[in-house]
Amino acid sequence: MSLATRAARLVDDYLVGWVALAVGVGFAIPELGAVTAFSTPILAAMVGAVSLTLSVGAFRAVDRRALAVALVVQTGMVLAAFAVARLLGLGPALTVGFVVLGAVTPELVTPVMTELADGDTALASAVLVLVGLGSVALVPGAVTLLVGDAVAFDTLRIVRGLALAVVLPMVVAVGLRTRFPEQVGRYDQLYPSVAAVLVVVIIGGVTAENAGLVRAGGSQIGAVAVGALALNLGGYTAGWLASAPFDRPARIATTLSVGMRDFAVAAALVVSAGFPPAAALPAVAFGVIELVTSAGLARWFRRGL
């Protein structure tokens, strides 16, 4: 086993711990918030790394009915996130954070997690790519419709950030994988690990930037954690129930795709788009919760339960 492979396994096997450590370090050293100044390139590298595992050919066998259902439920997570924030009585900044979290792509490693759970990896990959492309319209549209003038923001800045940090690297990476499958495929086991390292970096930076808010948050921070847990579990439940007409692999892929939100993309996006720093808190809370629940759920599915 090469040094790179051993390092990748160390990152992957203990990702929950690395994220928790990043949150702790960020909380203790607020100066690390300077990392968020580079959120767009970090996000682009993260999206590009995982997207190198995808190819156009992998999507051809996807059940289009299952894909349509997954996309509809996926889009509905925007409304679910908004409802959670309203029910908890959260302020405008935190509400924006939840709306963005509901509108972004599924977690970038959802196809990998789906494969580990014996699910339909091609379906999970198709949902990831299509939602990534559609996020350019969905994220600013959702914020405009659901939050309106409660928080000042620049729509063009959001679109530009998504185009540069999500859509462009995703399109380039999928194109490279499709054009040079053998060369790119040699390092498949490393791409998710590279993305995971960048997730740890951006979460640490966002936490550091919000360290003062966390200390002063009190019960509000608890409400954010409750909301993040509700959105995560609600997503799993909606995905599983909505995909009932399809086979088990498709249901697993839909469940994970809907319940797993890309918290790192959401955290980086709210920073790069100029939203209030507090808007990143839902993504940070969701990240820690999702990593724990998704790992447990994947093991549950793999055992045939």
pLDDT of residue 227: 96
Say how far apart CA 93 and CA 96 lie, in whole Å: 5
Strand (E) or helix (H) holding 193:
helix 191-209
Nearest-5° angle of CA 16, CA 4, CA 21?
25
Say how far apart CA 27 and CA 214 lie, in whole Å: 8
pLDDT of residue 81: 96
Start-to-end CA span in the chain (Å): 33
Cα–Cα nearest to 166, from 59, 265, 267, 52: 265
- Other CB atoms within a 10 A radius of the CB of residue 296 amount to 10
| Amino acid letter, residue 44 | A
Single pTM value for the model:
0.83
C-alpha 108: how far from its chain's center?
Answer: 6
Say how far apart CA 192 and CA 49 lie, in whole Å: 7
Taking only the tens of pLDDT, the chain with its 305 residues reads 577 778 778 877 777 788 888 888 888 888 888 888 888 888 888 888 878 887 777 677 788 999 999 999 999 999 999 999 999 999 888 999 999 999 998 988 788 788 878 889 889 888 988 898 898 899 889 988 898 776 666 777 788 888 888 889 888 988 998 889 889 888 888 888 888 888 888 888 877 877 776 666 556 788 999 999 999 999 999 999 999 999 999 999 999 999 999 888 888 888 777 888 788 889 888 988 888 888 888 888 887 76
Cα–Cα nearest to 45, from 262, 161, 175, 194: 194
64-87 vs 219-242: helix crossing angle, rounded to 10:
160
Token representation of residue 103 = 């509108």
